[in-house]
Amino acid sequence: MFSPPQSSLPTKRVLGLDFFDGTATEALEHVSKFGGLVVAPGAPSMVALQHDAHYRRAVADADFAIADSGWMVLFWKLLRGERVTRISGLAFFKALLALSDARTSGYLFWVLPSENARVRTIEFARCAGYPVAGDDCYVAPNYSERTGYSVKDTETSSALSYYVTDPDLLALIEQRKPKHIIIAIGGGMQDKLGSYIKRHLSYVPGIYCIGAAPGFITGDQVAIPAWADRFFLGWVFRLIAQPRIFVPRLWRAWKLPFLILRYGREKPPLQTR
């Protein structure tokens, strides 16, 4: 297993994470050529860096981080006076679909949160001309009910704890060997699953942890207009559609500006509850 070369990639560091400072197309060209794990931390996820050791380990495994969080980009500009190029998960997913090899049979593989999401994805692909069949979609189990495991970190000789495991998914990916793996499960699990997949595959595909973004296109999530995504207002549509889910997420995100003020480019220390 190896990671794609990154030395020449422009990045901006925020709270210890190096965000790609270019366009979605440029990022995808690189990942399409070399493979790699792509994460798109939202504001609540960045706050979770303080208390979720599994999440910290997962994003540390990433080869790309894209600045999906409009709140993070806005607060970084206001509080630190520096611009970070925002690439929303939705814009990134649209750019992924625009790749020429996205229409090659067997190149796209989807990890989805529900059977309804699988049905909608296949229907979308059929109507849009993407060769996606039922075997190209995997409905993820409830990972929060599974126990994790530990492996040895070769750099520090310490134990690394992993929360998400899925040998069935891993075997299916190894059998099919897709070029692009789209993880659309959200809920704080996608990055942990992406790290697990990356560390255990025998080859290096693109692994995209972009949460709900595919659902905005396939119809599994509320549609977000392009103008709303461009002006950081996609969260308003999601809040109206699913208030029980997004009110708690917004509440958790209020700590983000304080973390930016206090830690800047450094990763917040891990706290125990």
| Residue pLDDT, tens place only, 96-127 | 999 988 999 999 999 998 898 899 999 999 99
Q: Which two tokens stand for residue 256?
A: 């983000």
pLDDT at 45: 87
6, part of any domain = no
Mean pLDDT value across the chain: 82
> What's the average model confidence in pLDDT over 63-84?
91
Separation of alpha carbons 117 and 44, rounded Å: 24
pLDDT tens-digit readout, 14-39: 999 999 999 999 999 999 999 999 99
In a domain, 137, yes or no: yes
- Cα distance between residue 1 and residue 246, in whole Å: 37
Is beta strand 149-152 parallel, antiparallel or unpaired with respect to 137-139? unpaired
> How far apart, in whole angstroms, are the C-alpha atoms of residue 178 and residue 262?
42
With respect to residue 2, please indicate whether it lies within any of the assigned structural domains: no
pLDDT band at 233 (very low <50, low <70, confident <90, very high): low
Q: Flag whether 197 is in a domain.
A: yes
Residue 8 lies in a domain: no
DSSP 29-80: HHHHHH-EEEE---HHHHHGGGT-HHHHHHHHT-SEE-B--HHHHHHHHHHH
pLDDT attached to residue 85: 92
- Structural domain containing residue 200: 18-263
User: Count of alpha carbons within 13 Å of 148, Cβ hemisphere only?
Assistant: 17
Classify residue 115 by its DSSP letter: H
- pTM across the whole model: 0.83
* Number of structural domains in the chain: 1
Residues 173, 180 contacting (CB under 8 angstroms): no
pLDDT computed for residue 218 by the predictor: 75
Is 186 part of any domain?
yes
Contact call for residues 109 and 181 (beta carbons, < 8 A): yes
pLDDT at residue number 154: 37
Helix (H, G, I), strand (E, B) or coil at 119: helix
193 part of a folded domain = yes
Asked if residue 269 belongs to a domain, the reply is no
